[in-house]
Amino acid sequence: MRAFVVHEYKGRLSEEDVPEPVVGETDVLVRVVAAGLNQLDEKIREGAFKRILPYKLPLILGHDVAGTVVRVGARVRGFTPGEEVYGRPRDGRIGTFAERVAVDESDLARRPASLGSVAAASLPLVALTAWQALVERGNVQAGQKVLIHAGAGGVGTVAIQFAKHLGATVATTASGSNADFVRELGADTVIDYRTQDFEKELSGYDLVLDSLGGENLEKSLRVLRPGGKAIGISGPPDPLFAKTAGLNPVLRLAITVLSGKVRRQAKKLGVSYEFLFMHASGDQLRQITTLVESGVLRPVVGKTYPFDQTPQALESLAKGGARGKTVITLPAD
């Protein structure tokens, strides 16, 4: 089958013929119809996570898939050939920039009936990230104040909609040209990051979802109320992540040191910081499907590319500026 492979960190994707996926007893073989692109794909290609994600090169990237079930493993009971599905393969099992991918059935859900494959492929990673940040980690309640950075981006467009559904008052950062767009998604307050300093404009927030890291994260701590929480999806990783990921003692110590500055700053301010590296979950995707079908959540696809332009699509994603998600599409058989 055809797939796009990276042979070395910082190397370009190359289209190659590769062996068919091995289908285990609990796996579902999916013919890829569309695959979403994420900043995580680019960060893995650059080698940003090579110490904490145990991938061996060469590697097929791709974390989002929408497609058709081709066949199932002997112990699979939830899916049958011909069904339309979507999902985010778990870490260690990625590879949706290909004609077919084998996914554990617990990482999949049936595609929302109201969505086509392109829209469905845009959702899994970003929707799961938003869900896990706002529901699992943030426990966002009605009446709380939530700041979501980069509101026009992949995670931001979904997180704004989730936060409003949960009853929160939502602020977001975006360019002036995207201000009306993010308001339509549900943002109550929009900070133009090019002309305004969100730290000077906002205060007393219960939760911040930060996708930028660095100075932006440090400033985010200062807009929280005492007891508030900042959740970072760009880093730095924290000791809880290192423990949960089962990293060796040397890496756990390194991560403790790496995140030490921001954790100390948070403690001094009476707030907390957590790093979120989202996990695959078919169960959560089914709950997300319910929100899609009820009209609570609508996917935002900014750009699409044909499969043979996957390298160009990833390059475009790295440059930033696109609304919502970028998706690659494969021709029908």
Tally of CB atoms within 10 A around 104: 18
Class of the CATH domain delimited by 126-275: alpha beta
Tally of CB atoms within 10 A around 269: 16
- Residue-wise pLDDT for 223-236, tens only, equals 999 999 999 998 88
| Cis omega (within 30 of 0) for bond into 54 | no
The residues, any chain, with a CB within 8 Å of residue 155's CB and separated by 6 or more, are 126, 129, 130, 209, 211, 233
Residue 270 in this model has a pLDDT that exceeds 70:
yes
Give CA 135 to chain center in angstroms. 15
pTM summary value: 0.96
Residue 3 in this model has a pLDDT that exceeds 80:
yes
Q: What is the mean pLDDT of residues 120-134?
A: 98
- Residue-wise pLDDT for 205-222, tens only, equals 999 999 999 999 999 999
Give CA 302 to chain center in angstroms. 15
pLDDT of residue 150: 96
* Amino acid making up residue 31: R
CATH number for region 2-123+299-329? 3.90.180.10
Give CA 330 to chain center in angstroms. 21
Calpha distance 143→216 (Å, rounded): 25
Give CA 278 to chain center in angstroms. 7
Tell me the HSE value of 75 on the side-chain side, using a 13 A CA sphere: 8
Is residue 117 within 8 Å of 85, Cβ to Cβ? no
Structure tokens, 97:
């920039």
pLDDT of residue 257: 86
Residues of the chain with CATH 3.90.180.10: 2-123+299-329
Q: What is the mean pLDDT of residues 113-133?
A: 98
3-state DSSP call for residue 330?
A: coil
Calpha distance 318→207 (Å, rounded): 27
pLDDT of residue 333: 58
pLDDT of residue 176: 94
Residue 253 in this model has a pLDDT that exceeds 90:
no
Calpha distance 182→175 (Å, rounded): 10
- Residue-wise pLDDT for 273-301, tens only, equals 999 999 999 999 999 999 999 999 999 99
pLDDT of residue 117: 98
Mean pLDDT value across the chain = 95
pLDDT of residue 238: 86
Q: pLDDT over 90 for what percent of the chain?
A: 86
- Residue-wise pLDDT for 316-325, tens only, equals 988 877 899 9
Residues of the chain with CATH 3.40.50.720: 126-275
Residue 163 in this model has a pLDDT that exceeds 90:
yes
Q: What separation in angstroms does the CA of 64 have from each of 23, 33, 34, 41, 282?
A: 18, 11, 8, 10, 12
Is residue 234 within 8 Å of 212, Cβ to Cβ? yes
pLDDT of residue 295: 96
Calpha distance 276→279 (Å, rounded): 9
Q: What is the mean pLDDT of residues 154-175?
A: 98
Is residue 25 within 8 Å of 38, Cβ to Cβ? no
Structure tokens, 89:
């393969």
Residue that wins the pLDDT comparison between 251 and 130: 130
